[in-house]
């Protein structure tokens, strides 16, 4: 059995994540007490059609959370795979979301309830397989990330993402590369309203000698790293390329790096699924 425990802060998107997992064929159950997880897995294992189970776990029963390490060990010793997905967001974002929806936090009054919940989940968070900060994510973007990460098993999903440092680091990135040393098309009036998806901008960025040398380094590094990640059994690897605004340089370089990695010798066997994202522009 594959068991995915979806946990994290209330208001950070657990329900959205579970809905996306259900669309992927997971058998999903929310608010499962930790001591009941072995029984749920045993029941699901009795039905061959239910090999992937996702459960929502929250902090409303603090005593049960202390049992999680022992329950996880029991399940893994029985041969089951257990992953923990933790959904996070800053306190001010969570307060705003509850204010907008006029929902009551399950643990009491804000913002004290958020601080209490964060403390109660501290132990469980140390056991996470993956953490997603949803502060800047729309619901559709979170669903897409869930689909990318858990939609295909046994294949590494290699995500190449452009972003702008002025909007913050992508907290879910495994690798971050800073390309702000390249000349910026933003300062050319004719290029400023365009993006790295436009040929004029791409030609300007990639025409710089340093850009070609940088791409050589990035391609060589990823071709070295990806096979090791596959051997490790990883299912998701995100390499983020950042410039100032996430509109020009990072976009052009991400597109060209993806094109380079898509030709020639496969990065690994089995080949990874290559995904291109541009966080700070509308995707073309």
> Chain-centre distance of CA 18, in angstroms?
14
Q: Which domains does the chain have, with CATH numbers?
A: 2-150 (3.40.50.300), 157-278 (no CATH)
pLDDT at position 258, please?
97
Task: Note the Cα 241 to chain centre separation in Å.
Answer: 15
SS3 letters across the chain: CEEEEEEECCCCCHHHHHHHHHHCCCEEECCCCHHHHHHHHHHHHCCCCCCEEEEECCCCCHHHHCCHHHHHHHHHHCCCEEEEEEEECCHHHHHHHHHHHCCCCCCCCCCHHHHHHHHHCHHHHCCCCEEEECCCCCHHHHHHHHHHHHCCCCCCEEEEEEEEHHHCCCCCCCEEEECCCCCCHHHCCCCCCCCCCCHHHHHHHHCCHHHHHHHHHHHHHHHHHHHHHHHHCCCEEEEEEEECCCCCHHHHHHHHHHHHHCCCCCCCCCCCEEEEEECCCCCC
Confidence bin at 155 (pLDDT 50/70/90): confident
Indicate if the pLDDT at residue 186 is higher than 80. yes
ω before 261 within 30° of 0 (cis)? no
Indicate whether 187 pLDDT > 90.
yes
**Exposure class string for 40-52: b at 16+ Cβ within 10 A, else e:** bbeebeeeeeeeb
How far is Cα 234 from Cα 273, in angstroms, rounded to an integer?
12
Check if the beta carbon of residue 158 is closer than 8 Å to that of residue 223.
no
Work out the average pLDDT over 60-89.
Answer: 88
For the whole prediction, is pTM greater than 0.85? no
When mean pLDDT is compared over 25-39, 94-108, 204-218, the highest value belongs to 204-218
Q: Which two tokens stand for residue 89?
A: 């967001």
**8 Å CB contact between 160 and 219:** no
Q: What share of the chain has pLDDT > 70, as a percent?
A: 96
Q: How confident is the model at residue 49 (pLDDT cuts 50, 70, 90)?
A: low
Check if the beta carbon of residue 235 is closer than 8 Å to that of residue 191: no
Q: What percent of the chain has pLDDT over 90?
A: 49
Per-residue pLDDT at 284 exceeds 50: no
pLDDT in tens, 229-282: 888 777 789 999 999 999 999 999 999 999 999 998 888 888 888 999 999 985
- The rounded distance, in Å, linking the Cα atoms of 202 and 120 is 48
């Amino acid at each position: 059995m594959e068991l995915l425990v979806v946990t994290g802060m209330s208001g950070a998107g657990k329900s959205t994540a579970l809905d996306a997992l259900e669309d992927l064929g997971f058998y999903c159950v929310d608010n499962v007490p930790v001591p009941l997880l072995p029984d749920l897995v045993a029941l699901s294992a009795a039905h061959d059609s239910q090999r992937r189970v996702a459960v929502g776990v929250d902090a409303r029963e603090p005593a049960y959370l202390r049992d999680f390490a022992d329950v996880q060990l029991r399940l893994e010793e029985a041969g089951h795979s257990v992953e923990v997905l933790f959904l996070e967001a800053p306190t001010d974002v969570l307060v705003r979301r509850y204010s907008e929806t006029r929902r009551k936090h399950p643990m009491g009054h804000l913002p004290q309830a958020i601080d209490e919940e964060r403390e109660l989940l501290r132990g469980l968070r140390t056991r996470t397989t993956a953490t997603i900060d949803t502060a800047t994510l729309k619901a559709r973007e979170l669903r897409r990330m869930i689909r990318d990460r858990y939609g295909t098993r046994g294949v590494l999903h290699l995500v190449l993402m452009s972003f702008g440092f002025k909007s913050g680091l992508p907290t879910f990135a495994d690798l971050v590369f800073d390309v702000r040393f390249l000349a910026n098309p933003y300062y050319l009036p004719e290029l400023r309203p365009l993006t790295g998806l436009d040929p004029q901008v791409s030609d300007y960025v990639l025409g710089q000698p340093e850009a070609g040398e940088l791409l050589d380094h990035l391609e060589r590094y990823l071709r070295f790293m990806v096979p090791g990640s596959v051997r490790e059994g990883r299912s998701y690897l995100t390499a983020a390329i950042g410039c100032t605004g996430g509109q020009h340089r990072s976009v052009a370089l991400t597109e060209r790096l993806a094109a380079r990695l898509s030709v020639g010798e496969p990065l690994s066997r089995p080949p990874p699924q290559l995904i291109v994202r541009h966080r700070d522009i509308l995707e073309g």
